[in-house]
Amino acid sequence: MESLTAFAQLRQIGQSIWLDNLSRDMLAAGDLQRMTDAGEVTGITTNPSIFRSAIANGKAYAADLARLRTAEPDAERRYERLAIADVQAACDALRPVFDRTQGDDGYVSLEVSPRLAYDAAGTLAAARRLHGEVARANVLIKIPGTAEGALAFENCIAEGISVNVTLLFSLGQMTRIFEAYPRGLERLKASGGRTSGVKAVASFFMSRIDTLIDRRLDAIGTPEALALRGKSAVAIGKLAYQAYGGFFGTERFRATGGRPQYLLWASTSTKNPAYHDLLYVEPLVGPYTINTVPDVTLAAFRDHGRVASTLGEGVAEAREAFDGLERLGIGHEDVGEQLQREGVKLFDEAFDALLAAVK
């Protein structure tokens, strides 16, 4: 199967491929434009780790960084000036996709400081500021899916700010976000805002789920436990998708006039070399979804990806795997809370390293 045909088939099913990477070198070389023109990539996600790597290793930032070290005394603002310029350029490159899909696709995500993960008011203030400074219709402000982040998310939607809710690991965390979205839309509508102009996605981090649960299964060591290795994340993804219609197929949601909140599969590179390199891509294809992939996973899909609408398949098996974990004492929500705390901590550490790179 030729790569363009594979990507085109995904779009026909209703799934978008976004690239989990952005750098000024990539923009300058025209790599993003080539992938967009080829129909492979229709969006971009970023995070502190991505920008730290880009700024620390990329030559294209040297002149701007030297100027900012004199003009901008605050390291976080220096980073933001660099990142916002990249996000604006990527938004402009993807604007034809945004226009062609009437705002369904063609977005670039920019994350608020992970230091604000447990600060709802601070997150909202940062989201307002970044949204205004990027000043592009196709920017998504990225907010962690903590309880405080969910409140900030609702408030952002109520103000017409499009959001990518990140660091989701459990069905309970997803439910919290899916419930916040229509509340925000209802408030936006009541204030006279245009609800159809808002975009929201909910990002599940797949490989991290398997990494943690597999360690627990290995520690249990029984045949039942070992048989469940590498099955948890895909099972949770399929069950999350089954719940999707219960939130966005309701009369209440239709009355908001808003777009359904897409499920986004993140952390989709396979960490365990024993697993298929497209474990978090091929079984998770369905309408109203996005898969955000790093370069290595994009290359793997381009080379040998197989396309079928798979999210609705194997649901009974997914439920069986999910229930099997519970029988073994591996509580899904407990795992999700641990992973979310660890995810915030990892982003905090990456953010500290990022600020060190721009000092």
Whether the CB-CB separation of 29 and 63 falls below 8 Å is answered with: no
Q: Which of 208, 144, 70, 187 is nearest to 348 (CA)?
A: 144
Annotated catalytic, 142? yes
Q: Tokens 């249990």 appear where?
A: 220
Q: Which amino acid is at 278?
A: L
Element (H, E) at 108: strand 108-111
Contact (Cβ atoms closer than 8 angstroms) between residue 138 and residue 108: yes
Hey, is 144 helix, strand or coil? strand
3-state DSSP percent of the chain in helix, strand and coil, to 5: 60, 10, 30
Which one of the listed residues 142, 199, 231, 238 is annotated catalytic? 142
Exposure of 356 by Cβ count < 10 A (0-12 exposed, 13-18 middle, 19+ buried)? Answer: exposed
Give the pairing type, strands 163-168 and 289-293.
unpaired
| CA nearest neighbour of 154 among 130, 126, 178 | 178
List the structure tokens of 335.
């795992």
Contact predicate 41/10, CB 8 Å: no
Q: Which of 42, 23, 167 is nearest to 108 (CA)?
A: 42
Query: Do residues 256 and 183 make contact, with C-beta atoms less than 8 angstroms apart?
Result: no
CB 141 within 8 A of CB 130: yes
Q: At what angle do helices 332-357 and 171-190 cross, to 10 degrees?
A: 70
Dihedral sign for Cα 87, 88, 93, 97, please.
positive
- Angle between helix 206-220 and 332-357 (nearest 10): 130
Active-site positions read 142
